Structure 1
Amino acid sequence: MILLLVCVPLLTPFLAVPAARRAAAVLAPRAAVALLTATALVLAASATAALALLVVPGASYLPAVAVLEELGRPLTIGPPVVTVGLALAAAGALLRLVLPAGAGLLRDRAEVRRARAAAGPGGGELAVLRDARPDAYALPGRPGRIVVTTGMLRALEPAEREALFAHERAHLRGRHHLHLQAMEVAARCHPALRALREPLCYALERTADEAAATAVGDRRLAARAIGRAALATRSAPAPVAHRPRAALAAVAGPVPRRVAALLGAGDSRATRPRAGRLVAGALLLCLAVSGGTALGAAGEVHAHIESAQGETSGP
């Protein structure tokens, strides 16, 4: 029973990801961001918990663990060789998946620190870098800053600059980098969740696009600013080296699709409500099944531990 329960959280992401990828297309951008982030975190946490629960029965064969937990007999989910083999495999998977997630977070923090140092000690919202290569991005931190190069400032007209700054300001105000980092951690905990990176990035950029259009009061101006900024960046000889991976930028993602959405030719804020409800319902069902079975497996393991503690070893 335990083996069956732990298999469900490990397999559910493969079923949920196709529906989750549709969320960015059929839901309003802000709703898609929330649903995609929640989906990734719950599925990753459930799968990680399932792997950890697989380790427990095998670990109970170790004398030190048996004495520590006062077990009268080892826990088992099958023959001893199967129980121990699954425990070793699960432990290896945990080390291979979870440790790089922590290392990735430390790497991102180091990159942000370096980028903040490169932006200078000024306390203003806007940091201008003397660099001919066009670039602009939202640099997280306390306080968050909008970093723009002189090359990008020359590439845009004054009104377009304001639209670009409004876009990056929306990333900072919404703390969008936290959603991105949460997705990175989840993607490292389960390989199927890596497919959610692109739709989440798109939903984050669309959220900032809509905020910029509202701030400047002109959707065409916002679309033009994003399009021109992307063209300027694409034509640069090389990307700006000091942009950290955790920083979001208006030139990221499928820019033509985003511009079309702002102009009303693609997906708009008023998305397909029926399709959105179906996608949201399917994802919530997957989350309930994954989280519920992980909790059920934890309950089964706990019951086995209590049963083993109530038994005495032979004389």
Structure 2
Amino acid sequence: MRIAVYLPLLLSLVAPLAARPLSERCEPRLATWLLTGLSLVLGTASTTALGLLAVTGLLRIPQLAGLGHWSALSARHHDPARLPVALVAGLLLGCALFTAGRMLWRRARTLAAATLDAACMPARDGTVVVEDDVPDAYALPGLPGRVVVSTGMLHTLDDTEHDILLAHERAHLSAHHYVFVGLAQFGAAANPLLRPLAAAVTYTIERWADESAAGVTGDRRRVARTVGKAALAAHGTPALGRPAGAALGILGRRAPLAKAGPVPRRVAALLAPPLGRHPALTAATAVILTSVTLATAEAAHDLHLLLKSVGAG
């Protein structure tokens, strides 16, 4: 475990730098898959690395080593990890497991509540119209999911823009975008260094839905106008009571327009030619994912050999 165990931790420092290039230069569907994969794999691998380092620390304590019939003296001789490193790794591991477990629990509760809400909503063709002057629209996951639109939003947009709005929200449901967001946030919960990757996923799923709407309507400029128009209409107004963490909508994250950097970026992307797959970025991401996976497997194998050498086998 001399080098391999530290590689996921080191790459966690570097990988977030790829968040902006992937989200801005790659086709949104591919970017979402790559960013989600980076966050999930690096979050899992870095947590595993902390666990492996923590175990080497436990082996150095005679009372604990004796429980597994290991030799603490042999462990000190064979393993290069210092006891302070192992102790710090154990503390970080506890924090990672706690935050990841809490995130999973909250996410499960939110999705369960959203599913229940969606099942109780009377809908026509999967669309629920809410009597509210506040312009808002979002997709609510469920079995089946629902597209929720306020009358304020419907009055803001014309008939063509209604079709774009519905195409955008239905894309969130059909592509299960909430799953990508949840997995990326899980990786970031286990490793806070990966939060830029999770934040980028919340942007790329909106870009993915924008492109889906453009494909359905065949008019990228019209979609760009609808996105901008909806954001301007919602500026300064409170959002509807969305289930936190579950609902996804054309407005993205509700915030003052001055802070809503993703909306102008989405509009600009729609006014430009569609993005390609960018083979260089895709290959670089694949190399990182492969390296992290192999390094984690090698570190786990090294620990197995260490346990055998100190008397486990």
* Fold match (TM-score > 0.5): yes
Counterpart in the other structure of 2:286: 284
Q: Could you tell me the percent identity over the aligned residues? A: 37
* Range 104-113 or range 135-144, more displaced: 104-113
CA distance 1:83–1:128, shift in 2 (3 Å): same
* Range 107-116 or range 43-52, more displaced: 107-116
AA paired with 1:160?
E
Measure how far apart 1:123 and its partner are: 5.2
CA contact (8 A) 1:180 1:246 kept: no
Q: Name structure 1 gaps, 5 residues minimum.
A: none
AA paired with 1:269?
P
Measure how far apart 1:128 and its partner are: 2.2
AA paired with 1:91?
G
Counterpart in the other structure of 1:249: 249
Which aligned pairs between 1:212-227 and structure 2 lie closer than 5 A? 212-227=213-228
Counterpart in the other structure of 2:34: 35
**TM-score normalised to structure 2 length:** 0.87
CA distance in 2, matches of 1:310, 1:109: 39
* Range 48-57 or range 224-233, more displaced: 224-233
Measure how far apart 1:39 and its partner are: 1.3
CA distance in 2, matches of 1:310, 1:159: 69
CA distance 1:84–1:177, shift in 2 (3 Å): same
CA distance 1:130–1:65, shift in 2 (3 Å): farther
Counterpart in the other structure of 2:257: none
Which aligned pairs between 1:101-112 and structure 2 lie closer than 5 A? 101-112=100-111
**TM-score normalised to structure 1 length:** 0.86
Counterpart in the other structure of 2:151: 150
The SS at the match of 2:103 is: helix
CA contact (8 A) 2:53 2:85 kept: yes
CA distance 1:241–1:64, shift in 2 (3 Å): farther
Structure 1 residue 308 corresponds to structure 2 residue 313: no
CA contact (8 A) 2:161 2:223 kept: yes
Q: For this pair of structures, how many residues does the alignment match?
A: 303
CA distance in 1, matches of 2:25, 2:302: 39
Counterpart in the other structure of 1:69: 68
CA distance 1:91–1:71, shift in 2 (3 Å): same
CA contact (8 A) 1:98 1:189 kept: yes
Q: Name structure 2 gaps, 5 residues minimum.
A: 253-260
The SS at the match of 1:76 is: helix
Structure 1 residue 210 corresponds to structure 2 residue 215: no
CA distance in 2, matches of 1:160, 1:190: 40
CA contact (8 A) 1:138 1:171 kept: yes
Measure how far apart 1:202 and its partner are: 2.0
AA paired with 1:93?
L
Structure 1 residue 141 corresponds to structure 2 residue 142: yes
Measure how far apart 1:21 and its partner are: 2.7
CA distance in 2, matches of 1:34, 1:26: 14
Which aligned pairs between 1:74-153 and structure 2 lie closer than 5 A? 76=75, 83-115=82-114, 121-122=120-121, 124=123, 125-153=126-154
CA contact (8 A) 1:33 1:204 kept: yes
CA contact (8 A) 1:170 1:212 kept: yes
CA distance in 2, matches of 1:240, 1:142: 21
CA distance in 1, matches of 2:219, 2:247: 25
CA distance 1:210–1:69, shift in 2 (3 Å): same
CA distance in 2, matches of 1:150, 1:183: 33
AA paired with 1:248?
L
CA distance in 2, matches of 1:310, 1:135: 61
Structure 1 residue 168 corresponds to structure 2 residue 169: yes
Q: Deviations over 1:254-307 (max 9, x none)?
A: 12221222223xxx3243x6xx22222222222222222221111111001111
AA paired with 2:291?
V
CA distance 1:77–1:255, shift in 2 (3 Å): farther
The SS at the match of 1:200 is: helix
Counterpart in the other structure of 2:58: 59
Structure 1 residue 260 corresponds to structure 2 residue 262: no
The SS at the match of 2:120 is: coil
CA distance in 2, matches of 1:248, 1:291: 31
